[in-house]
Amino acid sequence: MKVRDSGMPHEEMWSEFFNPQTILEQMQLTSELENVVDLGSGYGTFSIPAAQIVSGTIHAFDIEPKMIDLLESKADQLQIKNIELHLRDFIANGSGLADNSMDYVMLFNILHHSNPKQILDETYRILKPGAKAGIIHWRSDIPTPRGPALDIRPRPGQCKQWAVESGFIISKELLLEPFHFGIIIQKL
């Protein structure tokens, strides 16, 4: 099930909105992490730099074959061997990953889905006890050059509420200048 209003801009434009290395550091992605999931990996904006940070595997999920092919090509060109690609509708069918098996999940610009709690419930299921997930989304309190329509764009308070309803505790809140907010959540 494709996330609503998820048309990706051209990669050149998309890459102007983020400094992935800085964001991953702020979102507590570290070399101690072994099994990391990127739900909705798109161009690999975060999967590629995350693979260069973590000590284990990045599980990159996307529903679009074109995005999976592009990420595979980039990983091959950069000789990155620790990205496992998953062409899968993880919203409709789950991730297929084992319960309590992952160290970190990246939920970056994806919770504008019509049922974000479904994504958070799957995240909770696959994370190890004590493990974290990072939420990033477009701010709605300022004009942004891109992002979902304002009427479906989640606000930080909504994301925190959904996370708590799925069993998480809120670990940290961040402002990711200039256009995003971040929330780090933790499974008990």
Which residue reads 């997930």 in tokens?
133
* Residue range 48-64: mean pLDDT, rounded: 97
pLDDT at residue 11 in the model: 59
Q: Which domains does the chain have, with CATH numbers?
A: 11-187 (3.40.50.150)
How far apart, in whole angstroms, are the C-alpha atoms of residue 187 and residue 20?
24
Which residue reads 């958070």 in tokens?
120
68-125: per-residue pLDDT in tens?
Answer: 999 999 999 999 999 999 999 999 999 999 999 999 999 999 999 889 999 999 999 9
148 or 40, higher pLDDT: 40
- CB atoms near residue 110 (< 10 Å): 21
How far apart, in whole angstroms, are the C-alpha atoms of residue 14 and residue 22?
16
How far apart, in whole angstroms, are the C-alpha atoms of residue 139 and residue 177?
10
- CB atoms near residue 149 (< 10 Å): 9
Q: Which two tokens stand for residue 116?
A: 């974000």
